[in-house]
C-alpha cells in the first residue's frame, strides 16, 4: 500500500468533470446497457429458454393441432395468423419482465444506489434499463420467429413497419416494467400487473383471433385494449392484414411511449420508490 498507489486529487480522479457531463452519460449508458445485456445472457436459462418453449407449445397446440381444423382467418392459414401475435406476446412479456425484475432486484438489494449516487442523469438510467428490456424482447422475438418458421411459411410484407412496431412496443413495455418496479415494495407487487393486467389484455388483444369474429358490442370493448393495436400493427407489417388502421395503431403506440417515458422520468427525478 504505497502512497503512489493512490492518485492525487485532480489527476485522473476528476474524470467526470473533465469529460463533460454528456460524455459521462454516454459512457454511463454504455455501462448500464452492457450490464443489462450481460444479465440477460448470464441467466439465459431463465430469460431466453422458457419463452421459446412456451411459444413452441402454442404453435404445436393452437397452430398445428387445433389450427388445422380452424382453417383460415383473415385470408391466411390460422398458424400463420397467430404467428405475429405470438411473437408480439413474447416481446410484451419479456420486455416487461426483464426491466421489472432487474430494476426491482437492484432496488431490493440496494445496489441501485450505485447509479443513484453517481452523476448519471435519470434519462440515462431510464434509457439504460429500457435498452436491456428491448434487447431481451427482441432476442426472444427472434427465437420465436425461428420456431414459427418450423410451423408456417412466414414472410414479412412490410419490414419497416414490422421493425418499427416491434421496437416501439418493446420500449413501451420496458417502460411499463420500470414503472411497476418503481412502485413495487415486494415480490407480490411485481407479479400482480403481469398476471392480472398484462396477461388478460394480451390474450384478449387479438393474438389468437380477429376481432371481426366478435359481436359489435365486444368489438367496441376490444378497441379499448391498447395491445390490440400493437398486435394488429405488427400483423399488418408481417402479413399485410390488420383489423385496425395503421395510423391509429402507430399513434396509440407512440402516445403510450411518450406518456410512460415522461412518467418514468418524473418519478425517478422525484425519487418515488427509490429515495426516502
Partner 1 sequence: MDALVLNGLTKVYGNGVAALKGIDLAVPEGDFCALLGPNGAGKTTAIGIITSLVNKTSGKVSVFGHDLDTEREAAKSCIGVVPQEVNLNMFENCVNTLVNQAGYYGVTRRVARRRAEKYLRLLHLWDKRKEITRTLSGGMKRRLMIARALVHEPRLLILDEPTAGVDIEIRRSMWALMREINAAGVTIILTTHYLEEAEHLCRNIAIIDEGTIIENDSMSNVIRKLQREAFVLSLQERVTEAPALDGYTVRVRNDREIEVEVEKGQGLNRLFAALSAQSLEVSSMRTKTNRLEELFIRLVEDRQAGHPQ
Binding residues for partner 1 (CB under 8 A): 1, 3, 5-17, 19, 21, 23-25, 27-28, 30-32, 34-35, 39, 42, 106, 109-111, 113-121, 271, 275-276
Task: Output the CA angle 221-225-230, nearest 5 degrees.
Answer: 135
Cβ nearer to partner 1, comparing 67 with 128: 128
CA–CA distance, 34 with 154 (Å, rounded to integer)? 32
CB of 10 to partner 1, least distance (A): 8
Residue 96: in which H helix or E strand, if any?
helix 78-108
130 with 178: CB under 8 angstroms? yes
CA–CA distance, 136 with 97 (Å, rounded to integer)? 9
CB of 239 to partner 1, least distance (A): 41
CA–CA distance, 199 with 204 (Å, rounded to integer)? 8
C-alpha cell read off for 123: 434519462
Alpha-carbon 88 to chain mean position: 10
All residues at 6 or more sequence positions from 195 whose CB lies less than 8 Å from its CB, including other chains: none
CB of 123 to partner 1, least distance (A): 12
Cβ nearer to partner 1, comparing 30 with 200: 30
Per DSSP, what are the bridge partners of residue 72?
77
Cβ nearer to partner 1, comparing 14 with 65: 14
Cβ nearer to partner 1, comparing 75 with 119: 119
CB of 246 to partner 1, least distance (A): 40
Residue 72: phi, psi to the nearest 5? -105, 155
All residues at 6 or more sequence positions from 14 whose CB lies less than 8 Å from its CB, including other chains: none
Cβ nearer to partner 1, comparing 1 with 160: 1
206 with 222: CB under 8 angstroms? yes
CB of 8 to partner 1, least distance (A): 5
Cβ nearer to partner 1, comparing 1 with 224: 1
Task: Find the helix packing angle between 21-42 and 122-151, rounded to 10°.
Answer: 40
CB of 268 to partner 1, least distance (A): 12
Cβ nearer to partner 1, comparing 120 with 171: 120
Residue 205: in which H helix or E strand, if any?
none
CB of 12 to partner 1, least distance (A): 6
Amino acid at each position: 500500500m504505497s502512497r503512489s498507489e493512490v492518485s492525487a486529487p485532480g489527476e485522473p480522479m476528476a474524470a467526470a468533470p473533465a469529460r463533460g457531463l454528456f460524455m459521462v452519460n454516454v459512457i454511463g449508458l454504455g455501462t448500464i446497457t452492457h450490464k443489462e445485456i450481460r444479465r440477460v445472457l448470464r441467466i439465459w436459462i431463465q430469460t431466453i429458454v422458457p419463452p421459446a418453449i412456451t411459444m413452441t407449445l402454442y404453435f404445436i397446440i393452437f397452430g398445428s393441432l387445433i389450427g388445422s381444423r380452424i382453417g383460415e382467418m383473415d385470408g391466411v392459414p390460422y398458424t400463420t395468423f397467430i404467428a405475429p401475435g405470438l411473437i408480439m406476446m413474447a416481446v410484451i412479456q419479456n420486455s416487461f419482465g426483464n426491466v421489472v425484475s432487474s430494476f426491482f432486484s437492484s432496488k431490493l438489494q440496494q445496489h441501485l444506489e450505485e447509479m443513484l449516487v453517481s452523476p448519471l442523469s435519470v434519462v440515462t438510467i431510464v434509457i439504460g434499463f429500457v435498452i436491456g428490456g428491448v434487447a431481451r424482447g427482441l432476442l426472444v422475438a427472434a427465437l420465436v420467429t425461428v420456431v414459427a418458421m418450423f410451423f408456417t411459411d412466414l414472410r414479412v410484407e412490410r419490414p419497416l413497419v414490422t421493425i418499427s412496431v416491434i421496437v416501439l412496443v418493446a420500449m413501451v413495455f420496458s417502460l411499463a416494467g420500470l414503472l411497476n418496479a418503481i412502485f413495487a415494495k415486494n415480490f407480490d407487487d411485481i407479479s400482480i400487473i403481469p398476471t392480472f393486467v398484462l396477461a388478460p389484455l394480451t390474450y384478449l388483444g387479438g393474438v389468437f383471433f380477429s376481432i371481426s369474429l366478435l359481436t359489435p358490442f365486444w368489438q367496441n370493448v376490444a378497441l379499448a385494449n391498447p395491445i390490440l393495436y400493437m398486435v394488429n400493427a405488427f400483423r399488418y407489417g408481417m402479413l399485410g392484414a390488420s383489423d385496425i388502421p395503421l395510423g391509429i395503431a402507430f399513434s396509440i403506440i407512440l402516445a403510450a411511449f411518450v406518456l410512460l417515458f415522461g412518467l418514468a422520468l418524473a418519478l425517478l427525478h422525484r425519487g418515488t420508490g427509490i429515495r426516502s
